[in-house]
């Protein structure tokens, strides 16, 4: 299963590397969101620096939506979905592979966005251990829930508008927990952040497990 | 035929219970010491919230029954949808009545209290579920998708609740909304019985609405199944008689 998942993730990441959609469209979009936040919130009065953690995670959410749409758009044409079913790959492995690829893309985007926050919002990074663990767990949770809902909405005519409506409230706890944990890390009181990290962990475990179980039936019949 | 009589009796009971509730809530019970007349909103607010949980519980349960191969049947999908629709209406009304009560008691329409925020998210989560239900496609695939979506939402609820609760307690150590006194007032006498009657009346109303909505869904489903076949048969007959 792990081998199949690695094959799947490798395929998705190769597509992204070759098509350059992630680097040429999603990454610039992420930076654009950071700039737009600066327009919306006055950078001179410190609002931006204080809200940096929340804005960072909102930007990550927006990018995650794009990455998820993209991950299932590549399976929508040329009968790719049927080929996927015929390939003999375990559906659980397909889920883990797609989620893994999305998580990898999000990880790169988070590094980029983090650099953007440091440079544009003038916010120094503290508590590296807490920040890294928060990012990893939040990314796994987002990728797992996103892959599940991406597959649910894939193939529907209204998928572009339906996916945000379905996904954003479900990942609301991730936004909340990741923001609080990052704030605790940046504010120099990492002790406050660890309960939130546990919550992120629980979310990630639940949605990975649910996705592994649910992806088979989902892939088989929602063609 | 007998089931229809049963539904009518149920509907009549629900309307009668609501009428008695209105009299009890508006006339018989005294105003509250702290909240004065605003407390009367609770006689519908609490039942609405209770029924909301019942409705979403039925949706989750019916979705599980659909997903289990041994109990898989179309009716569970239809029941889940019918219950979720009514649940969303009741959630909207819960938010509305709560908001009106908040305005009169706290002076604000909305506050980021844990319970309010969770309910608002619940509302949006199930609106999304209903939006997914309205999409077209192969019926079995659609039903499976609906069931998985309902479960994905249901397992999210405890996490949402926990996170929002932590969020508020960490940031608002002391707040004007002391839940113990405001949301769990020590009530007694006619107020207590009116609250109980309210829950009973709204459960009856919910059951009545659910039966009707479920029947409608069954009929719509049957029309969808038979409609095309019948149309083809009629068209064929038309062509045959025309050719002759």
Token pair of B143 as six digits: 């039903």
| Mutation to test the A interface, candidates B72, B128, B133, most A Cβ within 10 Å | B128
- In chain A, the number of structural domains is 1
Say whether A180 and B137 touch across the interface (CB within 8 A): no
- What percent of chain B shows pLDDT beyond 70? 89
- What are the tens digits of pLDDT across the range B65-78? 998 888 888 899 99
Cα B173 from chain centre = 32
The reported pLDDT for the residue numbered B175 is 40
pTM of the model: 0.85
- What are the tens digits of pLDDT across the range B37-93? 777 888 888 899 889 999 999 999 999 999 888 888 889 999 999 999 999 999 999
With contact defined as beta carbons under 8 Å apart, do A126 and A186 qualify? yes
B37 has a chain A CB within 8 A of its CB: no
What is the domain extent for residue A118?
A: 2-221
Say whether A170 and B162 touch across the interface (CB within 8 A): no
Integer Cα distance of B132 and A197 in angstroms: 31
Phi-psi region of B178 (alpha: psi -120 to 50; beta: other; left: phi over 0): beta
Integer Cα distance of B78 and B67 in angstroms: 13
| Intervals of chain A under pLDDT 70 | 221-223
With contact defined as beta carbons under 8 Å apart, do A68 and A163 qualify? yes
Chain pair A-B, CB pairs under 8 angstroms: 91
Integer Cα distance of B13 and B137 in angstroms: 39
Instruction: Determine the residue of chain A that is closest to B140 in CA distance.
Output: A221
Of the segments A166-175, B172-181, B221-230, which one has the largest average pLDDT value?
Answer: A166-175
| Higher pLDDT among residues B152 and B114, named by residue | B152
Only one residue has tokens 């950078």, namely: A43
The reported pLDDT for the residue numbered B186 is 56
With contact defined as beta carbons under 8 Å apart, do A37 and A68 qualify? no
Residues of B in contact with A195 (CB under 8 A): 166
Of the segments A144-148, A180-184, B104-108, B160-164, which one has the largest average pLDDT value?
Answer: A144-148
How does residue B244 score in pLDDT terms, banded at 50, 70 and 90? low
Integer Cα distance of B199 and B49 in angstroms: 9
Nearest to B140 among A155, A157, A221 (CB): A221
Instruction: Calculate the average pLDDT of chain B.
Output: 83
Say whether A166 and B149 touch across the interface (CB within 8 A): yes
With contact defined as beta carbons under 8 Å apart, do A184 and A191 qualify? yes
Only one residue has tokens 């113990």, namely: B180
Report the first-to-last Cα separation within chain A, whole angstroms.
Answer: 23
Any alpha helices (H) in chain B, and if so which ranges?
A: 2-23, 42-67, 74-105, 114-133, 139-171, 179-182, 189-243
- What are the tens digits of pLDDT across the range B178-207? 444 455 555 567 777 888 888 999 999 999
Residues of A in contact with B167 (CB under 8 A): 176, 180
The reported pLDDT for the residue numbered B150 is 93
B158 has a chain A CB within 8 A of its CB: no
Q: ipTM value of the model?
A: 0.85
| Mutation to test the B interface, candidates A145, A152, A158, most B Cβ within 10 Å | A152
Token pair of A114 as six digits: 């983090």
Nearest to A152 among B138, B149, B160 (CB): B149
Token pair of B204 as six digits: 């009856």
Q: How many CA atoms lie within 13 A of B55 on its CB side?
A: 32
Residue A166: which H helix or E strand, with range?
helix A159-170
Instruction: From B2, B9, B1, B7, select the one nearest B209 (Cα to Cα).
Output: B7
The reported pLDDT for the residue numbered B131 is 92
């Amino acid at each position: 299963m792990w081998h199949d998942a690695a094959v799947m993730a490798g395929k998705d990441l190769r597509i992204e590397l070759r098509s350059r959609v992630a680097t040429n469209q999603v990454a610039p979009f992420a930076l654009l969101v950071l700039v737009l936040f600066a327009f919306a919130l006055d950078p001179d009065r410190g609002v931006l620096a204080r809200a940096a953690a929340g804005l960072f995670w909102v930007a990550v959410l927006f990018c995650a939506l794009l990455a998820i749409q993209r991950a299932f758009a590549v399976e929508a044409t040329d009968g790719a979905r049927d080929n996927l079913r015929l390939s003999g790959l375990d559906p659980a492995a397909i889920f883990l592979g797609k989620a893994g690829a999305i998580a990898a893309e999000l990880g790169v985007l988070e590094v980029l966005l983090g650099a953007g926050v440091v440079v544009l919002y003038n916010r120094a990074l503290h508590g590296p251990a807490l920040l890294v663990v928060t990012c990893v767990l939040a990314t796994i949770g987002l990728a797992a829930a996103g892959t599940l809902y991406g597959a649910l909405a894939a193939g529907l005519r209204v998928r572009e508008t339906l996916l945000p409506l379905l996904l954003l409230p479900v990942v609301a706890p991730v936004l909340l927990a990741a923001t609080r944990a990052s704030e605790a890390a940046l504010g120099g009181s990492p002790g406050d952040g660890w309960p939130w990290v546990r919550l992120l962990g629980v979310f990630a475990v639940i949605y990975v497990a649910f996705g592994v179980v649910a992806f088979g039936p989902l892939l088989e019949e929602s063609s | 035929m007998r089931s229809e009589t049963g539904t009518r009796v149920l509907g009549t009971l629900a309307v009668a219970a609501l009428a008695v509730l209105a009299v009890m809530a508006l006339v018989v019970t005294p105003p509250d010491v702290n909240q004065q007349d605003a407390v009367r909103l609770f006689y519908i607010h609490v039942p609405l919230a209770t029924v909301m949980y019942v409705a979403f519980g039925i949706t989750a349960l019916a979705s599980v029954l659909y997903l289990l191969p041994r109990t898989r049947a179309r009716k569970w999908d239809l029941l889940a949808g019918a219950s979720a629709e009514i649940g969303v209406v009741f959630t909207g009304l819960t938010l509305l009545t709560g908001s009106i009560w908040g305005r009169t008691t706290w002076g604000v329409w909305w506050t980021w209290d844990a319970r309010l925020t969770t309910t608002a998210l619940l509302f949006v989560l199930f609106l999304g579920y209903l939006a997914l239900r309205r999409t077209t496609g192969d019926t079995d695939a659609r039903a499976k998708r609906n069931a998985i979506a309902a479960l994905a939402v249901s397992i999210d609820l405890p996490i949402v609740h926990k996170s929002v609760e932590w969020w508020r307690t960490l940031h608002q150590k002391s707040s004007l909304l002391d839940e113990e006194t405001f949301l769990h007032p020590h009530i007694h006498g006619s107020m207590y019985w009116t609250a109980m009657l309210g829950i009973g009346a709204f459960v009856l109303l919910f059951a009545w609405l659910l039966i009707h909505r479920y029947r409608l869904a069954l009929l719509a489903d049957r029309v969808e199944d038979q409609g095309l076949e019948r149309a083809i048969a009629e068209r064929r007959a038309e062509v045959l008689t025309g050719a002759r």
